[in-house]
Amino acid sequence: MKKVLFATTALVATAGVAAADVAITGEAEMGIVGGDRYGDETEFWTSVDVFFTMSGETDGGLQFGAKVDLDEADNINGDGSDGVEVFLTGDFGGIYMGDTDGAYDRVLTENYGNPGSIDDSETLHAGYNNGAGLDGDYGGEIMRYEYSISGFRVAGSLELENGDDDYIWALGASYTFDFSGGSADVALAYQEDTGTNAELIGFTAGVTLDGGFTGGIMYQEGDSNNGGVDETFMGISAGYTFDAISIGVNYGIYEEDGSGDENDGFGIAATYDLGGGAEIRAAYANGDVGGAGAGTGNDGDAWSLGVRMSF
């Protein structure tokens, strides 16, 4: 787990409001990257993120707060809210606004068992689906409501287009249940852009075993590019953790309806936990773009090797 630096301050002296907490965490990465993603050249990679999580609770039990990624926090004229999320939660569920997942992305799991890399290079291939769907097409300022009880989660979200009446809406639901030796989850979500009539439906299912294995599948139909081209996606991913080592693999393929064009690719990532919040990370991905406009990611390959530090 992360080593967390806590700065707790009594911020409020107003009647009816409890004291608030401010938690400061951080991440830093250093290493080398290369492959077609980087012009077939080897480059140094460094990255630093600082995260502020502010939270409090009223005397009536209403929880409130905000999360800020200092590396990318901004919001200009409501056009976007990169790195900033504000929330209210309680017995009614939770309301989240800003740089937050839409309901489609929230309930779906696109990469089971992935240990990660310094630059996400295991996902930089033409067959990768990041699960975000149409999120961000209208600037990324999203409002999401969700409610969870006994393993069930339901969510709904809305993203508005500034200066127009168009919007992107989504609904999703998931269920996680335990069994002897592990747990399993299933999720179903729908998303639509009223401006372009683009729509998506997605399904994921996975299993996590106490022995360290995690695996699952993802299926999606619709127009993920908002360009009037329908496609189907199938993906499979899995990971295994033993002692200090974690390994994850993913494969996906997009098929463009009517044309037969395909985008596919695979990625692999491995980490070694050094303890104290530091990990050695390595990853590789390779993909092939078979049709213009279909799928996401990049043609060719990408790789990375480095160290990630969590504070």
Beta bridge partners, 255, equal 232, 262
Beta bridge partners, 65, equal 55, 87
Q: pTM value?
A: 0.85
Dihedral over Cα of 210, 211, 214, 216: its sign: negative
pLDDT for 17 beyond 90 = no
- Quote the CA–CA distance of 248 and 253 in Å, as a whole number: 18
275-295 mean pLDDT: 83
Q: Could you tell me which residue, 233 or 17, shows the higher pLDDT?
A: 233
Dihedral over Cα of 3, 73, 107, 122: its sign: negative
Residue carrying structure tokens 């693999």: 249
Alpha helix (H) residue ranges in the chain: 103-107
Dihedral over Cα of 105, 110, 116, 117: its sign: negative
Q: Which of 76-85, 158-167, 220-229, 284-293 has the highest mean pLDDT?
A: 158-167
pLDDT tens digits, one per residue of 130-184 = 999 999 888 889 999 999 999 999 999 999 987 778 999 999 999 999 999 999 9
pLDDT tens digits, one per residue of 37-71 = 788 889 999 999 899 999 999 988 899 999 988 77
Residue carrying structure tokens 């999360």: 67
